Structures are given as C-alpha cells and as structure tokens.
C-alpha cells in the first residue's frame, strides 16, 4: 500500500508564473542561461544559480547557502507564496505531440526503503551525497520524482472530471508547451486520493532515482530532528500509459584498435547485418539496432537463436548491445565513467549522430529501440538494475512551479 500526502507547497503568484518557471537548470547552455538571467529578474534560474557571474569561484557549501538566501528573497518579495493548508495538485503538460497529466504529492521515504516504491536504475554515490547536501543547505526541492502507477479507471474518470474545474494556472512557455495546474484542497477529495493509491499498491520510479536516494539519505541523517517533511519527497504520479519513453542512443569515439573489416566481422557473429547506405534508418522492433559507421547506415538484427535469456534484464536491448558489442569488441567496461562513449536521447534526430561521426569526433553510433514500460516494471519487480542511460522519459517538470520545503 502506497502512502501519499498533501503538502504546503510554495509556488509563484499567478501573474508571474510564466516568468518564474524554467526548464531544468541542466537544459540550458551557458549563452542561453546568461540571457535568461540578464533579461528576466523573476526567473527561478536566479535562485538555482545565484551570483551566476562568479559561480565558478565559490565552493558547493557557499553556493547552496546562496541558493537558500535567494529563495528567501523571492518569498519576501512576494514572487513566491505558500499555501495556507496542505494540498495535492493535478498538473497537465500539453506539447505538440503529447499530453501528460498527473498528481503532485508527497511520497513516503519508508515506502521507498520497503520497495513499495520500486527502482530500476543504479545511482552514483557522490551525486546522491551532493544532492543530499543541496537539500540540507537550501531547505527545498522543486524537481519532483517522476513515478508511475498502474492505470486505474476510477482515477482516470476523476482526473477527467477535475479538469473541468477552474485551474489556478494556465500558461504557455517559449518551448511551445502549455501548462495547467489545479489545486486539490477538499478534505474528501484528498482522503479519496490517499485511499485510491493505497489500493493501487506498488509505485515505480520512472525518472529521479538520484533525487529519491538523496531524500532517503537526508531522512536517515536527520530523522530524529522532528521535521516530518523529511519523511516524504515530492513526486509527480502519472499512469503507466501516459509516460513517453525514448531510447538513449550510443556513440563511441574509436574502434578499440580494430580495423573496419575486423569490426564488421566481429559484429556479424551475433547480428544479421544489412547495409542501408544513406537511408536514415532506425530500429522498428525489439532486438533490432541501427548502426552508423564509415559514412553508411546499417540494420542489425540479433541472432536470437544463439542466446539463452536468463531474466528480463538479459533481454533488454541496451544490455544486449553492451554484452555483444560495447564490452567485448569496443572495450567499454564502465558505461558511466568511460569517456569513449557518449549518449544521445531519442528526442534528437539521428542526423545528430551522423554529424558527430562524419566530423570525426566519434567513430561509430548505435541506435536502439525504446524500452517498454512493462520492461521497466519487470526489471524493478525482479530487483534488477538497467544499464545507465537506457531511457529518456517524458514528461519533464518545470523548476519553480511547485516547491516542496524541507
């Protein structure tokens, strides 16, 4: 049984919400970031990157404290306001091709520890500890963990009906998305949602493994402080069928000493290879892989008869590519730390892979077929861990829209 709670969120005033909210800080290049900071004094980026001109000259602790001070300035100036009571939110993101709708709530650290909230990705300890320190110093988080739940007809009907209410926000952004937020504050509705998620049962992290692990670490360090907000972390709960999963493609800088002929011969041991020449080809089915190499595209089809799959992880395309090509042929041992490999999300055109290989920066690129949500859940159910950069999942949340204070 999953526990969810309402919380006293901090959020922008309605007249400034489109100016305050931003994409994730990491999405901005240096030039674009500087432009937003220069021309928009209300941007949440000012909080995330205070005194940005001198950011490289200060350590993490001072920077995190500066974030906290800037956050308090935004509250004092009335740019950000706090709810009078604990609430849930219904949140919808409309892009050109997809509409995502889910519920913003606090989810339980104990559920995370007890595997009621299930994981499928490993974490890097230094990143977990760094974000834990960030949460401790700043006292807030504005990026919810993306969590999926199994589709439920009652919940779907409730969401459809709730969207007929008047929202507290409805605004568009420069990346051509529309964002709508409804407040859920009635005691009966809150109790019904809590009961519904207890009935739904297990939840699955889709995106945000480091954020949830950092929240757990902070909880373990400070759980005797009496701060009940540490018992939960903010999550965006969305139905399994409503997430959009893209692949992460791979590009490698060299052939690990192999000649072109030797490399193709070794790949052909496990794959049927068809030359596609200049056709911008990408996989259409599981066990298919695209390859761009030496100015041409290739279609690779796994010789399934050669393999015995022990579990759901061994059948994962990203794992198969690692086991058959990246590690034994190209010598990529650690997918997280080897600087010979880079990753391109499936949201980008495969022409970006072609360009990187053609200009000599990389030697070969591989295109994968997207993972299904059923595969992700099966891996989590078996307590297995997917290879790094196996999925690029949408929706992505806007920073500064809703803030969870610790």
Sign of the C-alpha dihedral computed for residues 119, 130, 87 and 245 taken in this order: negative
* CA separation for the pair 401, 143 (Å, rounded): 9
CATH architecture of the domain with residue range 247-390: 2-Layer Sandwich (3.30)
Q: What is the pLDDT of residue 142?
A: 96
Q: What is the pLDDT of residue 56?
A: 58
117 HSE (CA, 13 A, CB side): 30
Both tokens of 41, joined, read 């004094």
Q: What crossing angle do the helices spanning 125-138 and 60-76 adopt, rounded to 10°?
A: 40
Give, for all 406 residues of the chain, the pLDDT tens digit.
899 999 999 999 999 999 999 998 888 888 888 888 899 999 999 999 886 545 556 788 888 999 999 999 999 999 999 999 999 999 999 999 999 999 999 999 999 999 999 999 988 899 999 999 999 999 999 999 999 999 999 999 999 999 999 999 999 999 899 999 999 999 999 999 999 999 999 999 999 999 999 999 999 999 888 899 999 999 999 999 999 999 999 999 999 999 999 999 999 999 999 999 999 999 999 999 999 999 999 999 999 999 999 999 999 999 999 999 999 999 999 998 899 999 999 999 999 999 999 999 999 999 999 999 999 999 999 999 999 999 999 999 999 999 999 9
Q: Are strands 117-118 and 203-207 parallel, antiparallel or unpaired?
A: parallel
Report the run of H or E that residue 252 belongs to, with start and end. strand 244-252
Q: What crossing angle do the helices spanning 187-200 and 153-162 adopt, rounded to 10°?
A: 150
The residues of the chain that CATH labels 3.30.1760 are 247-390
pLDDT in tens, 28-40: 888 888 888 899 9
DSSP one-letter string for 313-337 = TTT-HHHHHIIIIITTTT----TTT
Q: What crossing angle do the helices spanning 125-138 and 209-222 adopt, rounded to 10°?
A: 60
**pTM (global) more than 0.75:** yes
78 HSE (CA, 13 A, CB side): 2
* CA separation for the pair 379, 272 (Å, rounded): 27
Q: What is the pLDDT of residue 360?
A: 95
* CA separation for the pair 256, 27 (Å, rounded): 32
């Amino acid at each position: 049984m999953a526990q969810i709670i309402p919380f006293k969120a901090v959020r922008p005033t309605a007249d400034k919400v489109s100016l305050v909210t931003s994409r994730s800080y990491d999405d901005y290049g240096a030039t674009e970031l500087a432009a937003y900071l220069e021309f928009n004094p209300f941007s949440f980026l000012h909080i995330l990157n205070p005194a940005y001109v001198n950011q490289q000259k200060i350590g993490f602790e001072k920077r995190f404290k500066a974030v906290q001070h800037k956050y308090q300035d935004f509250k004092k100036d009335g740019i950000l306001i706090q709810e009078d009571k604990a609430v849930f939110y219904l949140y919808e993101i409309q892009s050109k091709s997809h509409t995502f709708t889910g519920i913003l709530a606090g989810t339980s650290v104990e559920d995370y520890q007890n595997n009621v909230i299930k994981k499928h990705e490993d974490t890097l300890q230094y990143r977990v500890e760094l974000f834990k320190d960030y949460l401790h110093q700043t006292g807030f988080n504005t990026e919810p963990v993306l969590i999926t739940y199994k589709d439920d007809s009652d919940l779907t009907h409730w969401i459809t009906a709730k969207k007929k209410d008047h929202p507290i926000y409805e605004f568009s952004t420069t990346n051509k998305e529309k964002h709508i937020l409804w407040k859920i504050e009635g005691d009966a509705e809150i109790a019904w949602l809590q009961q519904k998620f207890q009935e739904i049962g297990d939840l699955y992290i889709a995106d945000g493994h480091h954020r949830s692990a950092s929240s757990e670490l902070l909880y373990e360090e400070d759980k005797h402080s009496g701060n009940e907000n540490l018992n939960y972390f903010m999550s965006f709960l969305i139905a399994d069928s409503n997430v959009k999963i893209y692949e992460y493609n791979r590009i490698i800088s060299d052939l690990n000493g192999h000649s072109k002929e030797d490399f193709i011969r070794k790949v052909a041991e496990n794959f049927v290879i068809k030359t596609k020449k200049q056709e911008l080809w990408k996989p259409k089915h599981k066990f298919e892989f695209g390859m761009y190499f030496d100015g041409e595209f290739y279609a690779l089809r796994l010789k399934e008869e050669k393999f015995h799959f022990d579990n759901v992880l061994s059948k994962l395309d990203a794992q198969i590519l690692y086991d058959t090509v990246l590690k034994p042929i190209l010598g990529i041992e650690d997918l997280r730390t080897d600087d010979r490999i880079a990753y391109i999300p499936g949201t980008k055109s495969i022409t970006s892979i072609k360009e990187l290989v053609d200009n000599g920066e990389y030697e070969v690129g591989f295109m994968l077929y997207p993972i299904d949500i059923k595969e992700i859940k099966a891996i989590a159910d078996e307590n297995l861990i997917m290879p790094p950069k196996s999925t690029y999942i949408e929706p992505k949340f806007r920073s500064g829209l809703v803030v969870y204070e610790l």
